[in-house]
Structure 1
Amino acid sequence: MNADTSKTPAGSERLPVDHDVLAGLADGPRRDFRLRGRAFAGDPALRQPADDPSLEAQRSATTRAALELGKQGFPAQSLPRALGGQEAFAAYVAGFEETLLASPSAQIKAGVQYGLFGGAIQHLGNAAQHERWLRAVMAGELMGSFAMTEIGHGSDVAALGTTATYDPATQEFEVHTPFRAATKDYIGNAARDARAAVVFARLITRGVDHGIHALFVPLRTEEGQPLPGITIEDDGYKGGLPGVDNGRIAFDRIRVPRANLLDRYGQVAADGTYTSDIESPGRRFFTMLGTLVQGRVSLDGAATVGAKLALDIAVRYALARRQFAGADADEETTLLDYAQHQRRLMPALARTWANAAAHESLLGDFERVFSGADDTDEARQTLETRAAGFKALSTWDALDIVQECREACGGQGFLAENRLVGLHQDLDVYATFEGDNTVLLQLVGKRLLGDYAAELKDVDFGGVARYIGTQAAEHSLYRTGLASAGRTIGDIFTPALNARRIRSGKLIGALLAERVRVMVAQLAGDLRPAAKASPEAAAELFNRHQHELIEAARAYVEMLKWEAIDAQYKQIDRAAHPAEAKLVKRLRDLFGLSLIEQHIGWHLMYGRLPMARARQVGPAIDRLCGLLADNALDIVEAFGFGPEHRRAPIADGAEAARQDEARAHYRAGRAASTWPADEKAIYKSKMAARRRR
């Protein structure tokens, strides 16, 4: 079926896209699971109450929604087949992300229950522990928490202070919070619902600290009272996600059986002997944490769903809302007809489409690793790096896009009933969930430097000399400003000065990749002295270049996201679907050129774009924004949301009804003899008469 064209302005250049084809591209290869998640999210019974803002009312509604997800069997899809699951790892995540449409609180609470608490048991535990706990967790019958973060340590998991000391006399672990900063904090489900937790603590046995391991620790009685030795505090009101009962947990030398250690990567025998198949403590730690990457993957996708929702509301409002008179005295101009409004929303639409395409590629990586199709160290490291980087940029993008959409809807966007303010509040913490975004980009940057060093280590000495010589010559060329006399990237790909040439996919890809290459090479050169420096001097040198490291990582992730939407465009059968291919190409070009415009100073300083071509970027973006505005409704309809998902009156008839009423009023009034004369018209007529005299 084709999208409704009744709102398409006369003289537009709207592409006649097929709605089903475009929706298939928007949803990706796991569309069936997304549709199922979307149907779940549309159930009115799962919404948070709008008329009762109390924590208890919000938490109670959120708990019902999270438990219903388990009852309907969603989480069980990712279980091992031996436990009745399908091992559909990526498909489950794709469907789960759509639950944000019911409410972000429901999505996060369910993520804590099934993705973190259940996921930790599944990926860190053994078969007996799966049989003992996992079925009940994934059915929502055993509510739990993921107790990793502490007041004093969040992103630095290796430095957690909670201890789990083994006592061979009783074959138990003593779990203890030695100081206030070691209290587990911001733990989802802890304040109200959790009966148990997977607790991350320093495993100590026979006088040796073996680093961070996870244990299953009961927290409450069946009646909901904290067990002896366990103190639970309520985090109370937060800036968003009111339905999630975050809390603090402290342990006063409580005891759990040896069998409660989730021992996939480290085992403790009855006599206290520690063994592990991974000899290196560092490698063991990162392997263990790598199994928990699902949280970052799902946040990347959920944030993108949130951005889609905001854009769906803002675009529909911009097509209905009219402001300032146009050529027709009775017909004001729609917001989306204004070039600046297009500049506000269309780049955000392109960025969101690119983020969705990149997320689908990330889900592919996730599926290959967790299904065992490619469970190598390299594949896991790549997945962890991409998940960290994608999550960081997508959650930041979502916040920026929701805020832009809120402002683009004016005062109507500030009303709670239109979702945008609440959505921004709820998504705010996504920027620090599962790792602070800035710290995650540092992880990506370190991986880039490691890859860069690995590429150089096998090059012969002559090759290194040639490489360094080439770099030196290149930097000399651009530093002296002679690049304009030679051939820059812009010259190679754009022999003619026009907007179409600047939209070349090869040019955009080359510029984005070249920026990453130069930034990483320059950073590696700046950090080279650290190899021979003292630990203190090396740390100080690294700290001085931390900003450059993070910016290089950001450039790398931006390049990957552009490559994902470029790959999507290239995979479309252009003969069968020419309009859809052209639309995706426009989205791709706008996303890429927006990135280049954002960093235009860098491309000019390093001579990658000559000035004449750089001046073409802005006009090309303006042209693309205008073209995409003609298909804006098609694009947001492809997201597949209905009124039951938007729940924003301004996007589903309220604004259109007001505009229709106003137009009818003015038309009827002007046709009546009693309609007052317009003083401006009288004045203009008077001035014209004077000029004629």
Structure 2
Amino acid sequence: MVDTAERTPPTKKTPSASLAETRSTTTPPGDARARIDVEALGRQLLGDWAEIRLKSRELSSRPEMQKVEGLSLDDQRARTFEQLKLLVENGQVHRAFPKSVGGEEDNGGNIAGFEELVAADPSLQIKSGVQWGLFGAAVLQLGTAPHHEKYLPGIMSLDVPGAFAMTETGHGSDVASVATTATYDEETQEFVIDTPFRGAWKDYLGNAAKDGIAAVVFAQLITKGVNHGVHAFYVPIRDADGAFLPGVGGEDDGLKGGLNGIDNGRLHFTGVRVPRTDLLNKYGDVAEDGTYSSSISSPGRRFFTMLGTLVQGRVSLDGSAVNAAKIALKIAITYGNERRQFTAGSDTDEEVILDYQRHQRRLLPLLATTYAAGFAHEVFLHKFDDVFSGRADSDTDRQDLETIAAALKPLSTWHALDTLQEAREACGGSGFLTENRLTSLRQDLDIYVTFEGDNNVLLQLVAKRLLTDFSRKFAKADAGALARYVVTQAAGKAYHGSGLRSVAQTVKDFGSTGRSVNWLQEPSTQRELLTDRVESMISEVAGKLRPASKLGKKAAADLFNSQQNELIEAARAHAELLQWEAFTDALDKAPDAGTRQVLTWLRDLFGFGLIEKHLAWYLIHGRLSPQRAQAVTAYIDRLLTRIRPHAVDLVDAFGYGPELVRAKIATGAEAARQAEARDYYAAQRASGTAPTPEKSLKSPKR
């Protein structure tokens, strides 16, 4: 066991207090240089939009902005809507909009501030995202100057609450197949919006059940008998009294598993007419005579270009999921460092539960992944800002952004749920209490894994991009060339340059477990192992899919379906590699040598954790020998011991103080209880009034 010394209970601090004030008083054993500068690390973690994040956290620390548990459905919704007004008053919502309508055109800063709202209330974050990140962004990104001038001021001021009507009951991820139609009437120069059947109702829409008075409706644009695919239309849905306009109907989605501050609902349309000019026509337009035109001739490319402009939802979900994981770990690790159970190494004092190896195994790898996901998000956010500012706005840049979004959002949202659940369990009964937030956050973030794109569908998009890149490289290659590639791309990556000549050769190992650990510790080795897995998985699937071009549609679809799981696993491996690379690059920005050392251990824990998780693949494919596979787990155990003394500092560096964490077990209550109990028993022993344990009275056996 390590670090069982009593710690100073944390004190309450104001939002402006220094990060250093929450530092642990523990002196780490071992290498004296391995010390974390918590305040400096905290500044690094805030990233390049630090001031905006801090201002958003300050706003989130105000009680009127925070979730109140136990409210009725109506009261939760009313409170969240009032909080949107406070965001407007605070100037939080205008950053991404054009300067011509009073915005700041700061796309990265907008996302950075927005994702911090998860600390206040995920319902507030997502409802504001519906209003300004979906409804408003659709008008901005899919409309043109007349739409901006006419509609954005009311959207920005919240005078016009709106819904983003894309998803249908029968079509969620498959947006291209939505069934709602917008048919052009040349005589009146209007589009007629219709919902042809129940499955085509627009569903799960924030602001649809109560607050919204307009919507951006995605529908199949039909003119002169030709369907030109999905386009977006600005459609009023309610009058000044809150009643549906003629032809518009809907209903409330009701109580949900989380995010009940948002009034999700359904909409349907029967002969609803909107002016021709309310087609958001940046990528496709209809003239008065019904002639369709577009600057993008390919319907498929046009569709994906339109959807690509709305990628910011996935960016913000990635960042907010990481922030939720940070809060969960702040709670669980703080509690684990104070909570004591069992006198394993003492006749009197109980052990701090974070000193138990199993507890470290539960939480510290999640901490490493959270750091990796956080560093990857900062890279992602810069890519987003570059594209949306126009600094890097080529087709390739946009495709790269969409691929990164589809890769990282699944990993971070799944990770947030895993972290919240493990943190809840690691805090025992206390973790199940609503006052300690973990169950509430878990419920609210549950939907993150399926909205803005179901995670599995998004990873399939990533896999298709990887396959496309692969096929471009080998467009005219025969099967022999592909086989040679499989050999070549693994050569020299893992086994003293032995390549992949045979399984017997590749698994042959030299030296001790210690030497194996040294080899695995090398960043180049970790990079090669992670990269090799992605490349090999994609090349294997590509080889199996190669006959598809010669098959009929049904047979080709069946063949692709037979490889779907492998494709998604390859995409996930690609996203894990992106996170590892971002973490590795971030080490160069560490504020000092001691902090860099601890972060390097944490990066290694993340990398070794990925390799351990996929050990079966590495063994089956001859990339690791059994001895080196054992070295992976052995070194993880060693890393846990090294990182343990710094665990509290690592979560303190996240910068979420008591006013944002809002969990009693992480703000000094448990430390006070433990101190009281230890003092009580110590006083009994000192005074001689402690009762004698029965087992000490029994005679030893002879």
Q: Give the TM-score of the pair, scaled to structure 2.
A: 0.93
**Aligned residue in 2 for 1:226:** 244
Q: Decide whether the 8 Å contact of 1:233 with 1:248 is kept in 2.
A: yes
Amino acid of the residue matched to residue 609 of structure 2? Answer: S
**Aligned residue in 2 for 1:658:** 673
**Cα separation, 1, equivalents of 2:122 and 2:294:** 39
Measured against aligned partners, the alpha-carbon deviations of 1:258-308 in whole angstroms (never above 9, x if no partner) come to: 111100001111111111111111111110000000011111111111111
**Cα separation, 2, equivalents of 1:475 and 1:647:** 49
**Local SS of the residue matching 1:457:** coil
**Cα separation, 2, equivalents of 1:424 and 1:174:** 42
Offset of residue 399 of structure 1? 0.5
**Local SS of the residue matching 1:617:** helix
Amino acid of the residue matched to residue 389 of structure 1? Answer: A
Pair 1:79 & 2:97 matched: yes
Q: Decide whether the 8 Å contact of 2:317 with 2:413 is kept in 1.
A: yes
Q: Decide whether the 8 Å contact of 1:500 with 1:620 is kept in 2.
A: no
**Cα separation, 1, equivalents of 2:298 and 2:365:** 46
**Cα separation, 2, equivalents of 1:367 and 1:474:** 34
**Local SS of the residue matching 2:48:** coil
**Aligned residue in 1 for 2:592:** 577
Q: Decide whether the 8 Å contact of 1:71 with 1:140 is kept in 2.
A: no
**Aligned residue in 2 for 1:315:** 333
Instruction: Return 167-176 or 511-520, whichever deviates more.
Output: 167-176
**Aligned residue in 1 for 2:389:** 371
Pair 1:485 & 2:505 matched: yes
Superposition map of 1:173-212 within 5 A: 173-212=191-230
Measured against aligned partners, the alpha-carbon deviations of 1:84-106 in whole angstroms (never above 9, x if no partner) come to: 32211011101110000001111
Offset of residue 67 of structure 1? 2.5
**Cα separation, 2, equivalents of 1:16 and 1:261:** 58
**Local SS of the residue matching 1:369:** helix
Distance 1:328 1:486, change over 3 A: closer
Pair 1:295 & 2:310 matched: no
Offset of residue 487 of structure 1? 7.7
Distance 1:13 1:58, change over 3 A: farther
**Aligned residue in 2 for 1:403:** 421
**Cα separation, 2, equivalents of 1:357 and 1:475:** 28
**Aligned residue in 2 for 1:420:** 438
**Cα separation, 1, equivalents of 2:392 and 2:460:** 26
**Local SS of the residue matching 1:40:** helix
Q: Decide whether the 8 Å contact of 2:171 with 2:178 is kept in 1.
A: yes
**Aligned residue in 2 for 1:349:** 367
Distance 1:500 1:28, change over 3 A: farther
**Aligned residue in 2 for 1:285:** 303
**Aligned residue in 1 for 2:182:** 164
**Aligned residue in 1 for 2:53:** 34
Instruction: Return 448-457 or 145-154, whichever deviates more.
Output: 448-457
Pair 1:642 & 2:657 matched: yes
Q: Decide whether the 8 Å contact of 2:375 with 2:586 is kept in 1.
A: yes
**Cα separation, 1, equivalents of 2:23 and 2:385:** 38
**Cα separation, 1, equivalents of 2:288 and 2:475:** 45
Superposition map of 1:325-336 within 5 A: 325-336=343-354
Offset of residue 629 of structure 1? 1.6
- Match for 2:635 among 604, 610, 620? 620
In structure 2, the gaps of 5 or more residues are 1-17
Distance 1:290 1:352, change over 3 A: same
Pair 1:16 & 2:35 matched: yes
**Aligned residue in 2 for 1:677:** 692
Q: Decide whether the 8 Å contact of 1:267 with 1:274 is kept in 2.
A: yes
**Cα separation, 1, equivalents of 2:95 and 2:266:** 31
**Aligned residue in 2 for 1:469:** 484
Measured against aligned partners, the alpha-carbon deviations of 1:284-339 in whole angstroms (never above 9, x if no partner) come to: 11100000000111111111111111001001100110111154444211111111
- Match for 1:597 among 593, 605, 612? 612
Amino acid of the residue matched to residue 532 of structure 1? Answer: K
**Aligned residue in 1 for 2:11:** none
Pair 1:630 & 2:645 matched: yes
**Cα separation, 1, equivalents of 2:672 and 2:354:** 18
Measured against aligned partners, the alpha-carbon deviations of 1:346-390 in whole angstroms (never above 9, x if no partner) come to: 000000100011111111110111111111111111111110111
**Aligned residue in 1 for 2:458:** 440
Instruction: Return 31-40 or 326-335, whichever deviates more.
Output: 326-335
**Local SS of the residue matching 1:239:** coil
**Cα separation, 1, equivalents of 2:490 and 2:688:** 77
Distance 1:7 1:409, change over 3 A: farther
**Aligned residue in 1 for 2:380:** 362
Offset of residue 525 of structure 1? 0.1
**Aligned residue in 2 for 1:44:** 63
**Cα separation, 2, equivalents of 1:568 and 1:9:** 25
**Local SS of the residue matching 1:296:** helix
Distance 1:506 1:156, change over 3 A: same
Q: Give the TM-score of the pair, scaled to structure 1.
A: 0.94
Distance 1:491 1:130, change over 3 A: farther
Alignment RMSD (CA, Å): 2.3
Number of aligned residue pairs: 678
**Cα separation, 2, equivalents of 1:280 and 1:126:** 21
- Match for 2:231 among 213, 234, 238? 213
**Local SS of the residue matching 1:232:** strand
**Local SS of the residue matching 1:170:** coil
**Local SS of the residue matching 1:175:** strand
**Cα separation, 2, equivalents of 1:5 and 1:71:** 35
Amino acid of the residue matched to residue 469 of structure 1? Answer: R
Q: Decide whether the 8 Å contact of 1:392 with 1:441 is kept in 2.
A: yes
Q: Decide whether the 8 Å contact of 1:47 with 1:61 is kept in 2.
A: no
Distance 1:5 1:432, change over 3 A: closer
Instruction: Return 663-672 or 2-11, whichever deviates more.
Output: 2-11
Distance 1:237 1:398, change over 3 A: same
Q: Decide whether the 8 Å contact of 2:482 with 2:539 is kept in 1.
A: no
**Cα separation, 1, equivalents of 2:500 and 2:346:** 57
Offset of residue 467 of structure 1? 5.3
Offset of residue 447 of structure 1? 0.6
Measured against aligned partners, the alpha-carbon deviations of 1:198-254 in whole angstroms (never above 9, x if no partner) come to: 000011111111110000111111221111111120000111111111000011111
Q: Decide whether the 8 Å contact of 1:13 with 1:630 is kept in 2.
A: no
Offset of residue 45 of structure 1? 0.7
Distance 1:455 1:663, change over 3 A: same
Q: Decide whether the 8 Å contact of 1:145 with 1:189 is kept in 2.
A: yes
Q: Decide whether the 8 Å contact of 1:77 with 1:92 is kept in 2.
A: yes
Offset of residue 586 of structure 1? 1.4
Q: Decide whether the 8 Å contact of 1:55 with 1:243 is kept in 2.
A: yes
Offset of residue 495 of structure 1? 10
**Cα separation, 1, equivalents of 2:22 and 2:435:** 25
Instruction: Return 13-22 or 79-88, whichever deviates more.
Output: 13-22
Q: Decide whether the 8 Å contact of 2:41 with 2:653 is kept in 1.
A: yes
Offset of residue 456 of structure 1? 1.9
Superposition map of 1:518-529 within 5 A: 518-529=536-547
Amino acid of the residue matched to residue 43 of structure 1? Answer: R
Amino acid of the residue matched to residue 266 of structure 2? Answer: R
In structure 1, the gaps of 5 or more residues are none
**Aligned residue in 2 for 1:455:** 473
Pair 1:248 & 2:241 matched: no
Distance 1:611 1:331, change over 3 A: same
**Cα separation, 1, equivalents of 2:255 and 2:295:** 44
Give the share of equivalent positions with the same residue, in percent: 49
**Local SS of the residue matching 2:588:** helix
Distance 1:35 1:168, change over 3 A: same
**Local SS of the residue matching 2:233:** strand
**Cα separation, 2, equivalents of 1:367 and 1:216:** 26
**Local SS of the residue matching 2:227:** strand
Amino acid of the residue matched to residue 293 of structure 2? Answer: T
